[in-house]
């Protein structure tokens, strides 16, 4: 798959399927996944560890793509991400930047308000 927007759509679908293997396979070996309020995860081992904290506890995940644009191999997504964690549903507006290289994600940066996540995750 070489179309950067198609790569990102397939990646979002893998999250929604909660398919950790497909999510990991979408990254290059040297990829960087950076949730901007936190430290970046560099390389697939670090990304796998981060996924264990985010994806594993979720019983359902939805990435609603509100807007998507691409310039060459860079794809921007305005999304509303929803994570079902037990009885809680965390709804998080996100702006994501994906850099695609050779049909895989070389960099993923998500910009969001960490306080919004924390408040909902703690039941507030």
Helix %, strand %, coil % of the chain (to 5): 30, 45, 25
Task: Sheet with 74-85: list strands edge to edge.
Answer: 41-42, 27-35, 104-111, 88-101, 74-85, 60-71
Query: Of 3, 19, 102, 110, which one is the catalytic site residue?
Result: 110
Phi, psi torsion values for 78, nearest 5 degrees: -100, 120
- Is 81 annotated as catalytic? yes
- Cα dihedral: 83, 85, 88, 90 (round 10): -20
- Is 110 annotated as catalytic? yes
Pick the closest to residue 75 from 3, 4, 1 (CA basis).
4
Q: What is the DSSP letter of 110?
A: E
Active site residues: 81, 110
């Amino acid at each position: 798959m070489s179309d950067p927007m198609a790569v990102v759509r397939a990646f979002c679908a893998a999250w929604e399927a909660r398919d950790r293997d497909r999510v990991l396979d979408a990254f290059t070996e040297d990829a960087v996944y950076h949730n901007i309020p936190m430290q970046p995860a560099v390389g697939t081992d670090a990304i796998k560890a981060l996924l264990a904290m985010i994806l594993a506890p979720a019983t359902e995940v939805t990435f609603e793509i509100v807007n998507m644009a691409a310039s060459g191999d860079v794809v921007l997504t305005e999304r509303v991400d929803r994570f079902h964690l037990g009885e809680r549903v965390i709804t998080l507006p996100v702006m994501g930047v994906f850099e695609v290289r050779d049909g895989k994600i070389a960099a993923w940066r998500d910009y969001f308000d960490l306080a919004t996540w924390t408040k909902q995750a703690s039941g507030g």
